[in-house]
Amino acid sequence: MPDQVLSTSAEDRDWWRGAVIYQIYPRSYQDSTGNGTGNLKGITHKLPYVASLGVDAIWISPIFKSPMRDFGYDVSDYKDIDPLFGSVEDFKELVARAHELGLKVMIDQVISHSSSDHPWFAASRASRDNEKSDWYVWADAKPDGTPPNNWLSVFGGSAWQWDSRRKQYYLHNFLVSQPDLNLHHAAVQDALLDTVRFWLDLGVDGFRLDTINFYFHNRDLTDNPALDPDQRNDSIAPDVNPYNFQDHLHDKNQPENLQFLKRFRKLLDEYPGAAAVGEVGDAQRGLELVADYTSGGDKVHMCYSFDLLSATPPSAGYLNNVIGNFETTVTDGWVCWAFSNHDVQRHASRWAQDFGSTPKHLKLLAGILLSLRGSACIYQGEELGLAEAELRFEDLQDPYGIEFWPDFKGRDGCRTPMVWNAGRENPGFSDSRPWLPVPDAHRAQAVDVQDQDLDSLLNHYRQFIAFRKQHPPLVKGTIELDWQNDAVFCFRRREGDDIIVCAFNLSKEPRIFDVPEESLQTLAGGGFCRTAEGRTIKIPPLDAYFGKVQQHRQFA
């Protein structure tokens, strides 16, 4: 594999628009110390592999100092690296090496909540009248001693925890050990933005903003209304969790967030080229929030919702509906699409019941993800076709899965270590027992095996990302969904007079259909090479066609 792939231009401040971002879960990428847990030096060692994919950036899940009750999403020091992963000097070396290879570096910024071990929380809970007493969300009990309202935690149960020191409840939208910061307080905003500046000064190119729509709560602590059972959606929480029973109107999604995001963007704009992608966690109004948070060029650069991270299989009709709704709703904003990440079942398993998880199907899905208008996130191991790991209860680490086992098995199954060398112990991830077991089934999909196979899924990702970069409409162009087929997901990508027709046959039968264009030039090089005769396209099952429009009609 090539040692160096220059992915982006340092002068392109809009590098993020249409970028392919590779997500690294640091605990599970590469262990360089032999303790069974991945670390920063391990990531640095593997950066040439990442660059060989042709991606533009890496996103590293949390590496800040933390008690690790939620594996880094519970921060106890926003300006330090957890010793489990290394040091600030190790991080500087990682950034320098990434930049040598043409890779941007984005890090997870978790600012809706901290760890209960954070000094800020220790001060806040000490009394009701100290300097940081209102840095977190505190409220008195109801007269009968019950919590202030009916808000629920994403991880199950009430979102309120009683604290005997203050004799009040504090809000936690996630674990009890993850108290919510009170961003209604200007000093909290200032302190958080100061931590953002710290990492920008160290050379990071951007941030993935965890739970971006959870930053503010309703000051009046109004009860959430019940949600009609027909509207319940398990994309945010599993269906065994009562969190889905509420319409979360008051515990998140508050209008005050827009002003804070403007402050955040103003800071980023001091660092040319710095960008942010926000995670919008809402099952009912995700696209509307993406539109609000990315519009106007004065808030975050892009967001992603959970529409394509859900269990709903990506049929032609479903994809047309999701993308069509986005194009209608998010008029001047930008989206970052993903099929898998560290919080959801891997899509090789999630959609296997309907399509199977064969390499052919996974190649087709990669083509779809990397052809949509927007940026794209690839989760480590996705390029290898890794399926969700089936773990024993005694191997679980995730408190979410332990709480709801066996009906919901948590997030450990998508977080197992990368497989580098099929013939090595723990397939090359570590010389010691890994923090999560490596499934035997993953061994045959190791990087060294797929490197040697030109027809492998790994090499398909490399080919298609290169193909994408060769055709500007696929990176930053517009998308048009004005004609469709019942089994084939079809659209045009357009930049100026350059138009590419993209068609994906998601059915198990060959499809022949006509497009409005008068003449198409078949484009090869992306791993798909299906032919067209005039305006007639022929696509085998689970395959795709890409063609450049030679002559085209003008559509109203």
- DSSP string covering 493-541: EEETTEEEEEEEE-SSS-EEEE-S-SEEEE--SSS----EETTEEEE-T
Q: How far is CA 243 from CA 246, 248, 550, in A?
A: 6, 9, 52
Q: Hey, what domains does the chain have and what are their CATH numbers? A: 20-114+186-469 (3.20.20.80), 478-551 (2.60.40.1180)
Percentage of residues in the chain having pLDDT higher than 90: 85
pLDDT-derived band at 8 (thresholds 50, 70, 90) equals: very low
pLDDT value at residue 31: 98
Residue 1: per-residue pLDDT = 45
Highest mean pLDDT (candidates 92-101, 346-355, 516-525):
92-101
Q: Tell me what pLDDT residue 551 has.
A: 61
Quick one: pLDDT at residue 173?
98
The catalytic position among 210, 251, 343, 412 is: 210
Residue 412 has pLDDT above 80, yes or no: yes
Looking at 11, 270, 394, 407, which residue is catalytic? Answer: 270
d(CA 25, CA 416): 9
Percent of the chain clearing pLDDT 70 (strictly above): 96
The predicted pLDDT at position 132 comes to 98
- Is there a catalytic annotation at residue 448? no
Report the phi/psi class of residue 183: left, alpha or beta, with left for phi > 0 and alpha for psi in -120 to 50: alpha
pLDDT at 175 over 70: yes
Model confidence at 3: pLDDT above 50: no
Residue 153 DSSP class: -
Q: Which two tokens stand for residue 348?
A: 């090789």
What is the pLDDT at residue 448? Answer: 98
Taking CA atoms, 125 is separated from 122, 139, 164, 167, 343, in Å, by: 6, 12, 9, 9, 30
Q: Is the pLDDT of residue 7 over 70?
A: no
- In the predicted model, is pLDDT for residue 553 greater than 70? no
Angle subtended by helix axes 316-329 and 286-294, to nearest 10:
40
The yes-or-no verdict on residue 483 having pLDDT over 80 is no
194 is annotated as an active-site residue: no
Q: End-to-end distance of the chain based on CA atoms, in angstroms? A: 47
Phi, psi of 112 (to 5 degrees): -80, -25
pLDDT value for 529: 72
pLDDT surpassing 50 at residue 163: yes
Mean pLDDT of 179-185: 98
Average pLDDT over residues 538-555: 80
Range with the poorest average pLDDT among 176-190, 270-284, 484-498: 484-498
CA distance 36 to 495: 47
Distance between CA atoms of 294 and 258, rounded to whole angstroms?
10
Please provide the size of the chain in residues: 556
pLDDT computed for residue 524 by the predictor? 85
Question: DSSP letter string over 405-474?
Answer: TTTS--SGGG-SPP---TTSSGGGT-SS--SSPPPHHHHTT-HHHHHT-TTSHHHHHHHHHHHHHHSTHH
Mean pLDDT of the chain: 93
Confidence of residue 68 (pLDDT cuts 50, 70, 90): very high
Quick one: average pLDDT of 310-336?
A: 93
Closest CA to 43 of 88, 101, 90, 111: 90
Tens-digit pLDDT profile for residues 295-307: 999 999 999 989 9
Q: What is the mean pLDDT of residues 342-347?
A: 96
The pLDDT of residue 556: 38
**Is residue 8 within 8 Å of residue 57, measured between CB atoms?**
yes
Residue 355: what pLDDT?
63
pLDDT (0 to 100) of residue 56? 98
How far, in Å, CA of 514 to CA of 518, rounded?
10
What confidence score (pLDDT) does residue 405 get? Answer: 94
